[in-house]
């Protein structure tokens, strides 16, 4: 990536305001035209949102997007749509024992609504406040129940693949446990054994940092600083780690860039949270300084890898080991080409990763100012690219907001235009949501404010 050190939040203000105009049009297009009877919208095909059964992990982005739109613009039609959808349709996601996605679905909806109440933007009616709090408490406990102990102690929140499977994605959904903990909740097991949601959240982060992120220490032949594995496999009989694997990436020894981006953002925002809690609450892990060192190493390593392995404009291809990527030559020395004939880019990874870069940059601004400036400007560079064509969708007939998002390349689920050899030109619920979240965050910083997932409980 060629980091643009001349970019500023102030200079991007007009483009961010223009962004919300396009964003609102897309939300209304889905609201007015999508047939809810077919299931949760997942990604677009030929510009229209459609569904794809795997797990129900994207509905929170649908209604969460509307809530973010209201937060940014004050337009109450979006609040009504997001709040109504949350109340009427999100209960099944609170009690969903089959997924690791609670931080996606429920913090994006119930959490955002509760945050707006805490901030005085919404009236804090008792029944509604308690309703959102109850949903978030239960969501954190349900996700915390998906637990696999490991040999070194601690454990991880296992993926929908089963108890053997640690997904790198889950470092961003672990915030469901943090919110539940901050609301005073815990998980009760057999014989009323009480399990701390915070303890499980931290243990999961430590396991992810140890097994899903690489640091150039020779763990295998492909161990380089900041590489990530989508999935880490464990023997559940004895809790031993076995090998890396991939579900949506090319292989366990290459880096699926959306998984990389989840780690960039997840570790960065968990660092922000942990810095806000009393140190004695982390004594069981050696104190804040010890946990911070591990989380910070993971955040910096993954952000460094992203910067090194993306195109000049900050957009990544879907996997750094994609088999036809070599045909593009040194793609890091020119702007990304979403229309190439060999391998697709994944703009949704950029939307997620840019917020991770911005947050890590802010976190380091006093601890390591030079590094903080580098990461923050890298985040602005990515965001600046996404706020323009060919990534920002300005066609009113296309329901997606962020173009050139990829869902599951190995399974061939993404829409390929007629005559093309790769998918391009389509959007996803997570890509659209995370671009909105990144722009909202940048806009609040520009206004001298801040924005954290845990603002709903503080």
Residue 268 has pLDDT above 90, yes or no: yes
Higher pLDDT among residues 432 and 125, named by residue: 432
Containing 194, the helix (H) or strand (E) segment is strand 194-195
In a domain, 447, yes or no: yes
Grade residue 54 by pLDDT with cuts at 50, 70 and 90: confident
Q: Are strands 240-245 and 194-195 parallel, antiparallel or unpaired?
A: unpaired
In a domain, 233, yes or no: yes
Distance CA 150, CA 438 (A): 35
Residue 458 has pLDDT above 80, yes or no: no
DSSP states along 200-242: HHHHHHHHHHHHTB--SS-SSTT--TT-B-SEEEEETTTTEEE
Could you tell me which of 90, 232, 106 has the C-alpha nearest to residue 159? 232
Q: Alpha carbon 218 to chain centroid distance?
A: 28
* Tokens read off for 291: 């946990």
Using N-to-C axis directions, what is the helix angle for 288-309 and 197-211, rounded to 10°?
A: 40
Q: Between the CA of residue 183 and those of 130, 133, 140, 189, 275, what are the distances in Å? A: 11, 7, 10, 19, 18
Q: Exposed/middle/buried for 411, CB within 10 Å: 0-12, 13-18, 19+?
A: exposed
For 165, phi and psi rounded to 5 degrees? Answer: -115, 115
pLDDT at 10: 97
pLDDT in tens, 239-254: 999 999 999 999 999 9
Which CATH number fits the domain that encloses residue 437? 1.50.10.10
Mean pLDDT value across residues 406-414: 96
* Tokens read off for 256: 């699926």
pLDDT at 412: 95
Residue 55 has pLDDT above 80, yes or no: no
Total number of domains in the chain:
1
In a domain, 139, yes or no: no
Range of the structural domain that residue 377 is part of: 13-53+60-81+147-453
Residue 114 has pLDDT above 80, yes or no: yes
Global pTM value: 0.98
In a domain, 277, yes or no: yes
Residue 194 has pLDDT above 90, yes or no: yes
pLDDT at 328: 97
pLDDT at 53: 74
In a domain, 103, yes or no: no
pLDDT in tens, 283-303: 999 999 999 999 999 999 999
Angle subtended at Cα 351 by Cα 361 and Cα 391, rounded to the nearest 5 degrees? 130
Distance CA 275, CA 289 (A): 9
Q: Which residues does residue 77 pair with via DSSP β-bridges, in sequence order?
A: none
pLDDT in tens, 126-162: 999 999 999 999 999 999 999 999 999 999 999 999 9
Grade residue 52 by pLDDT with cuts at 50, 70 and 90: confident
Mean pLDDT value across residues 265-278: 97
Mean pLDDT value across residues 349-354: 98
* Tokens read off for 174: 């672990």
Please give the mean pLDDT across all residues of the chain: 97
Mean pLDDT value across residues 266-275: 98
pLDDT in tens, 71-87: 999 999 999 999 999 99
Q: Exposed/middle/buried for 161, CB within 10 Å: 0-12, 13-18, 19+?
A: middle
pLDDT at 198: 98
Determine contact, residues 24/79, Cβ cutoff 8 Å: no
Distance CA 118, CA 68 (A): 15
pLDDT at 124: 86
pLDDT in tens, 197-223: 999 999 999 999 999 999 999 999 999
pLDDT in tens, 28-51: 999 999 998 888 999 999 999 999
- The region that residue 120 occupies, defined by phi over 0 for left and psi between -120 and 50 for alpha, beta otherwise, is left
Distance CA 209, CA 194 (A): 26
Determine contact, residues 204/155, Cβ cutoff 8 Å: yes
In a domain, 283, yes or no: yes
Using N-to-C axis directions, what is the helix angle for 369-386 and 429-446, rounded to 10°?
A: 130
* Tokens read off for 158: 């296992």
Tell me how crowded residue 190 is: count the other CB atoms within 10 A of its CB.
5
Distance CA 452, CA 458 (A): 10
Determine contact, residues 81/27, Cβ cutoff 8 Å: yes
Unique residue bearing structure tokens 């600046």: 384
Rg (C-alpha) for the chain, rounded Å, is: 20
Determine contact, residues 144/197, Cβ cutoff 8 Å: yes
Range list of β-strands (E), 246-368 = none
Provide the CB-side half-sphere exposure for 202 (13 A, CA).
25
């Amino acid at each position: 990536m060629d980091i643009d050190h001349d970019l500023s939040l102030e200079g991007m203000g007009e483009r961010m305001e223009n962004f919300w105009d396009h964003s609102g049009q897309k939300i209304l297009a889905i609201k007015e035209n999508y047939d809810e009877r077919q299931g949760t919208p997942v990604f677009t095909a030929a510009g229209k949102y459609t569904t794809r059964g795997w797990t129900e992990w994207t509905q929170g982005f649908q209604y969460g997007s509307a809530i973010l739109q209201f937060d940014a613009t004050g337009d109450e039609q979006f609040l009504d749509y997001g709040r109504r959808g949350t109340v009427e349709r999100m209960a099944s996601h609170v009690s969903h024992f089959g997924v690791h996605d609670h931080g996606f679905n429920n913090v994006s909806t119930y959490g955002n609504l509760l945050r707006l109440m805490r901030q005085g933007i919404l009236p804090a009616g008792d029944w509604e406040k308690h309703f959102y709090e109850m949903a978030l408490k239960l969501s954190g406990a349900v996700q915390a129940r998906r637990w696999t102990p490991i040999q070194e102690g601690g454990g991880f929140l296992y993926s929908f693949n089963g108890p053997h499977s640690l997904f790198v994605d889950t470092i961003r959904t672990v915030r469901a446990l943090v919110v539940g903990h901050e609301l005073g909740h815990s998980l009760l097991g057999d014989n009323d054994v009480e399990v701390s949601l915070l303890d499980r959240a931290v243990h999961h982060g430590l396991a992810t940092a140890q097994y899903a992120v690489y640091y150039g220490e020779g763990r295998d032949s492909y161990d380089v600083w900041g590489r990530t594995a989508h999935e880490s496999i464990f023997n559940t009989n004895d809790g031993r780690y076995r090998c890396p694997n991939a579900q949506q990436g090319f292989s366990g020894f290459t880096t699926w860039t959306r998984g990389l981006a989840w780690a960039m953002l997840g570790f960065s925002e968990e660092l922000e949270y942990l810095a806000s809690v009393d140190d004695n609450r982390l004594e069981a892990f050696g104190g804040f300084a010890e946990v911070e060192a591990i989380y910070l190493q993971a955040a910096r390593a993954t952000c460094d890898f992203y910067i090194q392995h993306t195109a000049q404009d900050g957009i990544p291809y879907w996997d750094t080991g994609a088999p036809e990527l070599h045909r593009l030559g040194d793609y890091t020395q020119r702007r990304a080409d979403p229309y190439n004939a060999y391998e697709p880019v994944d703009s949704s990874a950029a939307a997620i990763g840019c917020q991770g870069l911005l947050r890590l940059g802010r976190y380091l601004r006093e601890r390591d100012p030079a590094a903080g400036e580098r990461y923050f400007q890298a985040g602005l560079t990515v965001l600046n690219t996404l706020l323009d064509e060919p990534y920002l969708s300005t066609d009113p007939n296309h329901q997606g907001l962020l173009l050139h998002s990829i869902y599951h390349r190995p399974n061939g689920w993404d829409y390929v235009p007629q005559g093309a050899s790769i998918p391009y030109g389509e959007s996803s619920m997570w890509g659209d949501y995370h671009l909105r979240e990144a722009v909202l965050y940048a806009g609040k910083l520009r206004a001298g404010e801040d924005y954290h997932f845990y603002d709903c409980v503080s």
